[in-house]
Amino acid sequence: MSEPQSYAPPPNARIEILTFDDGAHALSISLRGVEGARAVDAASISAMHGARIRHEQLGTAKDASRTLDVGILAATTAIGMPVVTTRATKDVSVSTEHLQHALALKVSGVPEVWYLLAQSFNFRKALGPDAGYSSELNLRAFLKRLAAFAPNAAKDAYLTAMIDRKDLPPPVESLIDFLRTASK
């Protein structure tokens, strides 16, 4: 059974590698599942969108709430009784939530939105020796460089806030919601 049209994502492609070619004033972009890299003139980037995407993960953990009483242990050892310990464990549902940062590019003449997810993007290839060990600092440096590289591209509130170190807009609920917003 196919998904309802209202839930289907807009046309998109995931960016695997993005590097800056300062001499040609172009980006070299490799997309997932597409062979080779595409040269994209900086002037053809019409818009840049970003967002934090809420990601909730449900799991189970063992809860060993019963601990060993040191006083009882000392008393039973002193009189020579064997020490038998049992731990009652039970599974507890654990919900963790984290935010994934995403960036989308709209390129003139390209019908799909190209996007990347910061947590799995190789900033070292994009930033070269300017890359550090902090994902957040790498993301900010990357966005600053991209914004300077394509100064005429429209930027949304997320990009402006990240570059200026301001409060970020509220997160979106899913990647599909983000892609829908970026494709408008």
Burial annotation 64-103 (CB, 10 A radius, 16+ → b, else e): eeeeeeeeeeeeeeeeeeeeeeeeeeeeeeeeeeeebbbb
Tens-place pLDDT, residues 107-121: 999 999 999 999 999
Asked if pLDDT for residue 160 goes beyond 90, the answer is yes
Average pLDDT over residues 6-34: 90
Asked if pLDDT for residue 83 goes beyond 90, the answer is no
pTM reported for the whole predicted model: 0.73
Give the closest residue to 61 by CA, choosing from 96, 97, 85. 96
pLDDT of residue 66: 55
pLDDT of residue 88: 58
Confidence of residue 8 (pLDDT cuts 50, 70, 90): confident
Give the closest residue to 19 by CA, choosing from 107, 105, 123. 123
Asked if residues 56 and 97 have their Cβ atoms less than 8 Å apart, the reply is yes
Tens-place pLDDT, residues 118-157: 999 999 999 999 988 888 899 999 999 999 999 999 999 9
Asked if pLDDT for residue 87 goes beyond 50, the answer is yes
Average pLDDT over residues 148-175: 93
pLDDT of residue 139: 94
Asked if residues 139 and 123 have their Cβ atoms less than 8 Å apart, the reply is yes
Distance CA 66, CA 6 (A): 50
Place of tokens 């070299």: 28
Average pLDDT over residues 162-183: 92
Tens-place pLDDT, residues 24-79: 899 999 999 999 999 999 999 999 999 999 877 777 776 655 555 666 766 666 67
pLDDT of residue 1: 46
pLDDT of residue 94: 73
